[in-house]
Amino acid sequence: MQNENEKDMKKDEIPEPTTPFKETGGVSMEGHIRIFDPETGEDIINKRNAIHYENMSEALALSLSNKTTGFVHEMAFGNGGTNVDPTGVITYLPANSTGQNASLYNQTYYKVVDDNSSLNTDAGRNKLSVNHVSGNIYSDIVVSCLLDYGEPSGQQAFDNTSNFNDTYTFDELGLKSWIGTVNTGRLLTHVVFHPVQKSLNRLIQIDYTIRVQTLTNLSSIS
């Protein structure tokens, strides 16, 4: 039989919660790209992009553990994301989002967008920023990249080419991480789109947004 002290102790015990607390949570990531003319505001491309989840998970872990690698460093441009048949019909290839060594189909140019990098020649217009509103469970990484009139070197004078295989007629781009050497990092995102010619007579700006959202605010499970 229980004595009186044991009964009193049981009265004072705090009952275990019927609703357990979450010990783990998830992270959702999604990307969006806007390519536009910064002088007129005209949209050229406005669409979602694919996240390379394996490489992104490694990049997040490296960044959070302050290993000096893993962060976004370059925006890569290519012209291998589409096939155009003789009648002008465009076939879009799938985004490369698996395998650690994934890359653009045919990279032809890159630009450093890390505004803390000594390799960035125009950090005021090629940069990364983080947007967060207190109370929200998501934050946006905005990667801005401007292709000025004179870049890339060797481009056509006017944006009237009919050659979709031109070196600087871009139809794919992605963000790449820093792993110690420029233009060797892992592909973090990839998007394929309708070919866009970069020529001397036009400016092109790319705003690449990655939304990072937690799937729980660590409150109890409902």
Sign of the Cα pseudo-torsion (111, 150, 173, 214, in order): positive
Closest CA to 84 of 96, 92, 95: 92
Q: What is the pTM of this model?
A: 0.85
* pLDDT in the model for residue 219: 45
Q: Which of 10-24, 143-157, 181-195 has the lowest mean pLDDT?
A: 10-24
With pLDDT > 90 as the criterion, what percentage of the chain qualifies?
A: 78
Radius of gyration of the chain (CA): 24
Q: Is the pLDDT of residue 82 over 80?
A: yes
For the segment 171-184, the average pLDDT, to the nearest whole number, is: 96
For the segment 62-90, the average pLDDT, to the nearest whole number, is: 94
Q: Is the pLDDT of residue 196 over 70?
A: yes
For the segment 191-203, the average pLDDT, to the nearest whole number, is: 96
* pLDDT in the model for residue 220: 39
* pLDDT in the model for residue 218: 47
Question: With bands split at pLDDT 50, 70 and 90, how would you rate the model's confidence at 15?
Answer: low
* Angstrom distance (rounded) from CA 106 to CA 71: 23
* pLDDT in the model for residue 51: 96
* pLDDT in the model for residue 1: 53
Residue 124 neighbours by CB under 8 Å, 6+ apart? 115
Q: Is the pLDDT of residue 2 over 80?
A: no
* pLDDT in the model for residue 222: 40
With pLDDT > 70 as the criterion, what percentage of the chain qualifies?
A: 86
**Which tens digits make up the pLDDT trace of 25-42?**
788 999 999 999 999 999
For the segment 3-22, the average pLDDT, to the nearest whole number, is: 55
Residue 113 neighbours by CB under 8 Å, 6+ apart? 72, 73, 74, 75, 120, 126, 127, 128, 143, 144, 145, 175
* pLDDT in the model for residue 122: 96
